Chain A
Amino acid sequence: MSVPTRWEVAAGTGGRAGMWRPPGGGRAWATVWVLAVAWSVGGWLIAEGSVINASGWSRFAEFFRAALTPQLSGEFLARTGAAALSTLSYAVLGTLLAVVVGLVVGVLVSETWWATGTGARTRRRARRAGWLLTRLGLALPRGVHEAVWALLLLSVLGRDPLVGVLAIAIPFGAITAKVYAEIIDESARGPYEALRAAGAGRAVALLYAVLPIAWPELVSYAFYRFECAVRSAVVLGMVGAGGLGFELVLSFSGSRHAEVWTLIYTIVVIGAVVERWGAGLRRADGVRRSGISAVAALGLLLAALVHLGPDLSRVVSSRTAELLAGLMAEMVPPGLPEGGWVRLLEEALVTLQMSLVAGTMAAVAAVAVAFVAARGGTTPAHRSAGMLARWLLLLTRSLPPPVWALLFLFLLLPGPLPGALALGVYNFGILGRLCAEVVENIDRRPHDHLVATGAPAVSAFGYAIVPQAGGRFLAYGLYRWEVAIRETVVVGIVGAGGLGRLLEDQRVAFDLDAMAGTVLALIALCALVDMISTAVRRTRR
């Protein structure tokens, strides 16, 4: 039989051979990554001298002792309940909007839709340019953190519940669109290309060949978004939108540790319930259970609408348009911070370093824990360890980064290190759960085949499980890295440095045009990370 050469094989499959690949591929990227992390951490330790806050240990211990005696008075519980309902309402309405936006826009920014690898050369280039443009367009809403959106929307819409909902829906819609696009692109291309070859239009082919395959993952991600939205709603509360976050700040600043723990437990319980719901929905094969979920979701939606009573007419009122025009006039053209470009680049570098260190910490720990945390252990010891690991992950991701940052500030002096640690711990919880789900969904048959031919457990794991999980781990890790960049804003607010700190200083000083400049710098960083992430993932295809 005649066999094509290796080059012909590379050119003929997947339709992606024309794309640029970095010299050295994955290994070159890995080397750059390790050097960058070492440089960041080493730089902080040398530059900052002492990083330990020696006087904070006793307060830290005091805070943790209060974990056993949360505030359970009727009055405080009622306040917590009302706050929880507000937070949930923001999350529900924000997620709904975000998922609708994500589904439509996700298709429109996928490589599959743009078919970047097929057609004549000029057409291929045009398509690739189109895809890149839509991708960059998404970076704008995504690069701005919910908290910043809330502050901007506040000055246009005033104190309106819509501020909280839109502050979640805008960036989450963009993130969901990006992830949905990637899920669509990573789904098996065979069926889609078969339908296209048979003359089906892009929309029809996606609907019949990609959506049914990707659907469980899309639903899973929507629920994950809802969980994130709950935490975001907490953070929005911390910057003034009300709800659990607002109560958390009040109790924290009053050193009422028992109340803080009541609120933390509430957040953890809500997170656990939402996660259980999502897991149940993913496992359900029956129409009945999906139906129950749909009814429950509808109930939550109605409760949220009644509780918040958002007034949609305000979005289109002339007063809003006036205020928006005023805001735009103040912010355009964007300005530079005091210290000019040098200061902006310095702070951007700190932000990049913080996100890189946080992402690395989170990824290393998450991958290690994911295999323990994945459901389906066969021994009682494995199952108990899995349960413990899942609780650890739930706890770490239930507390938003600013709360972790406040806790780390008991132990460390303000600076990028506590900020990076806070982001690292929080993202460990999220990434660990995502990776555990990847492990649960892996095809076990190649592994079992190797075991049946005498492979030791470690070898079978290395050959059959790791390669299957690796691509997804990498994709999730890179995506969290980008999210970590955005989140440096909220840890910046508590003094962790970088662009977030700069933004907070500018906000307090009402320096709106410089604020716009800082936001643009954040967006540029996000776009940069997005491009790096695409290039790194391409080395794996």
Chain B
Amino acid sequence: MSCEPVVPRSREVGQDDAGIALRVQGVSVAYGNRLALDGVDLSVRRGERVALVGPSGAGKSTLLGLGSGTVVPTQGRLEVLGVDPWAVSPGALRRLRARIGSVHQQLHLVGPLPVVHNVNAGRLGTWGRLRALRSLVRPLQVDEARMALDRVGIGPYLHVRTDRLSGGEQQRVALARLLVQDPELVLADEPVASLDPARAEEVMSLLCGLLEQPAGHRRTLVVSLHDFDLAVRHCDRVVALRQGRVVLDVPVEEVDEGTRARIYDLAPDT
């Protein structure tokens, strides 16, 4: 099957700058000789929920890494929340990163710490150094941490060592950490890859619920998913990658069985 875009649908790049959360223009990323991303164009509006799908190695994680300011583009233009992460001072990059939340399949929690510190770790981008270290001795903003834990359903675990919790409970701690961080843009890399379908649905619902803000506002979500159905159920738009290129970019309403087959190469080209 050719890797040319099936339905190229890059949204109006350049218009309505204030309303764009993530803008990727002609970006390529090379690891040595291998091109992980090859001239990708993508822009995500604020409040939008975008699912990245595609086979393993298609470049989904690299694209998310661009968004979190951890992957450097080899060429092309990048703007995250109106800022080019690689053209600003280290201080400004930190401030930008504080506005971006990330969720991973590995939760990156610190096992020996009590849950409250792992939740408060979401605030480290906005807290000063002294405040952060002081909170390790005597936890600050405990009420907010408890409220976040209540919202994900594990309020009583506030002072329990994190590595004592089950995998599912730890996942909720990671979501509470995201909640107190209060990011404008959330980048989730395979957040449910190792979960059974019921649990995956539960976590995705929880994640999307947390993104809702008062007065009908929504945080922006870019999430890579293996499960196509989850993408359709929880997102507004599906972007498919293959071999480092965007091969599909459509609203979920336009997705049908044929699209899925084309993305994963399940059926011959029609």
Contacts and interface: CB of A to CB of B under 8 A. Distances in A.
Contacts, number: 100
Contacts of A459: 124, 127, 129, 132-133
Nearest to B150: A3
16 contacts: A446-B108, A450-B121, A452-B97, A452-B102, A453-B102, A453-B125, A454-B96, A455-B94, A458-B129, A463-B117, A463-B121, A463-B124, A463-B136, A468-B110, A468-B111, A540-B112
Contacts of B109: 446
A4 B156 contact: yes
A455 B111 contact: no
Interface string B149-175: 000011111011100100000000000
Nearest to A472: B112
B160 A464 contact: no
Interface residues of B, number: 42
Interface in A439-485: 445-446, 448-456, 458-460, 462-464, 466-468, 470-471
Given A3-B154, A454-B96, 10 more contacts: A6-B156, A14-B164, A445-B106, A449-B102, A452-B69, A454-B98, A454-B99, A463-B132, A464-B121, A468-B112
Contact of A453 (B101, B153, B157, B159): B101
Interface string B110-134: 1111000100011011110100110
A455 B70 CA distance: 13
B62 interface: no
B68 interface: yes
A452 B127 contact: no
Interface string A36-61: 00000000000000000000000000
Secondary structure type dominating chain A contacts = helix
A230 B268 CA distance: 69
B155 A3 contact: yes
B102 A5 contact: no
B226 interface: no
A28 to B, nearest CB: 15
Top 6 closest pairs, chain A to chain B, by CB: A454-B125, A454-B98, A455-B124, A454-B97, A449-B108, A459-B132
B11 interface: no
B160 A6 contact: yes
Interface in A500-525: none
A1 B129 CA distance: 36
B159 A6 contact: yes
Nearest to A466: B136
A466 B111 CA distance: 12
Nearest to B102: A452
Interface of A: 1, 3-6, 9-10, 13-14, 445-446, 448-456, 458-460, 462-464, 466-468, 470-471, 540-541
Contact of B124 (A14, A460, A470): A460
Nearest to A7: B156
Contacts of A10: 160
Tell me which of A5, A445, A450 has the highest count of chain B C-beta atoms within 10 A of its own C-beta. A450
A462 B132 contact: yes
Nearest to B154: A3
Contacts of A446: 108-110
B57 to A, nearest CB: 21
Contacts of A460: 124
A173 B154 CA distance: 46
B9 interface: no
Contacts of A4: 156
Contacts of B77: none
A456 B95 CA distance: 10
A458 B133 contact: yes
Which residue, A452, A460, A462, A468, has most C-beta atoms of chain B within 10 A?
A: A452
Contacts of B111: 468
Contacts of A458: 129, 132-133
